[in-house]
A = this chain, B = another copy of it.
Amino acid sequence: MPYSNFASMPCTLSRPAALLGERWTLLLLRQIFLGTRRFEDFQATMDISRSVLTDRLNVLLQENVLKRVPYSEDGRTRHEYRLTEKGRDLYPVLMALRTWGEKWMAPDEEESFHLHHRDCGGGVRAKVECTGCGAELSARDVEVTARQ
């Protein structure tokens, strides 16, 4: 099976993993969550090649993670890339990566940006929770019943 076929696998983990597991896609989403919206700005801040950037943006548009929104500047109409609701819902994925990165890849390093809850100023952390009892879960607390 080529990599691209995972995009159509009947598995709710494989398909997101294949989509976000393409080179640049996670880094592009990071940049978007940090507020970048325009082609030129992605290109400048990430130093990605323009053709690959075009491709990744188009994939995310097609998946309805991003939308192109027109706006005016100097009387000219341009477009910017913004998250859809589906895209905004990827926030836990990015935060899970960051929570992991803070714990395991930067023990005594300054964060390059700081996040806090608007309402109370608290920090931000991703976690896995039981929908039944509300307990926080680790891999070992969870049983897998495979169907394939």
Contact = CB atoms under 8 A, between A and B. Distances in A.
B132 A123 contact: yes
Contacts of A105: 12, 15-16
A17 B13 contact: no
A102 B93 CA distance: 13
Tell me the interface secondary structure of chain A in the complex. Answer: mixed
A19 to B, nearest CB: 8
Q: How many copies does the complex hold?
A: 2
Nearest to A103: B89
A101 B1 contact: no
Contact of A130 (B99, B117, B140): B117
Given A117-B141, A123-B130, A27 B17 contact: yes
Contacts of A12: 98, 101-102, 105-106, 109, 111-112
